[in-house]
Chains A and B, each alone.
Chain A
Amino acid sequence: QKEVEQDPGPLSVPEGAIVSLNCTYSNSAFQYFMWYRQYSRKGPELLMYTYSSGNKEDGRFTAQVDKSSKYISLFIRDSQPSDSATYLCATHHTGGFKTIFGAGTRLFVKA
């Protein structure tokens, strides 16, 4: 079993739709949960980060962690064509040197 599971998609939505991206993880010791966004032919960049359980909102983006079910979510409201990218979930435990990444979900937002 992979430590972090993420559906690679692709996921195609119309502009303005609400997008839900999800990951599951297996290690209950993981405390830090991140979402990275990667545009085509670019390196990943941090989009959102949460510590332990709960929600975090930043503009149109909301990151959610449910530690009881080991489930990580990213919601994008009013999606835009500029949101078209690959979204990678990531996690590690406190003090850990290594971050575990999901496979990444390719998102296409059509104008």
Chain B
Amino acid sequence: NAGVTQTPKFRILKIGQSMTLQCTQDMNHNYMYWYRQDPGMGLKLIYYSVGAGITDKGEVPNGYNVSRSTTEDFPLRLELAAPSQTSVYFCATRPPGGEAETQYFGPGTRLLVL
């Protein structure tokens, strides 16, 4: 099993550009999450999904959009990139009611907006 994969690993965007961060999982987990991590600030939840077709906002959703058409994929869309969106983005999954209610994280996407 590949677990949680994220692409790209690193990207530089110009202000105003748009891009999609890809997240794919092969563990058949219902719950999926997008976080951003800024230095010394921990993980901030952007959006989450409890299953295909169902998404909801997290703590910091402004400037982002998501969709969940399949169990496997949960892409994150940035429409108008701003310097404040420079961060490391992590996708995570979680099985509902699973032992430890563990979240499984992908390797992250580093985004630099200039």
Contacts and interface: CB of A to CB of B under 8 A. Distances in A.
A79 B32 CA distance: 33
Contact of B42 (A32, A92, A97, A103): A103
Contact of B103 (A41, A99, A102, A103): A99
Interface string A39-65: 001111110010000000000000000
A7 B92 CA distance: 24
Nearest to B31: A97
A41 B6 CA distance: 13
Interface residues of A, number: 21
Given A88-B42, A98-B58, A104-B42, A46 B108 contact: no
Contact of A43 (B101, B102, B106): B106
Interface residues of B, number: 21
A103 B40 CA distance: 6
A97 B102 CA distance: 11
A32 B98 CA distance: 12
Contact of B43 (A32, A92, A101): A101
B43 A44 contact: yes
A97 B105 contact: no
Given A32-B101, A42-B108, A43-B106, A98 B45 contact: yes
A24 interface: no
Contacts of B4: 43
Contacts of A97: 31, 48, 50, 56
A74 B32 CA distance: 27
Nearest to B107: A43
A16 B108 CA distance: 31
A69 to B, nearest CB: 21
Given A8-B40, A88-B42, A88-B43, A98 B102 contact: no
9 contacts: A6-B42, A34-B102, A36-B103, A42-B108, A45-B105, A46-B100, A46-B103, A88-B43, A98-B58
Interface of B: 4, 31, 40-43, 45, 48, 50, 56, 58, 90, 92, 100-103, 105-108
Interface of A: 6, 8, 32, 34, 36, 41-46, 49, 88, 92, 97-99, 101-104
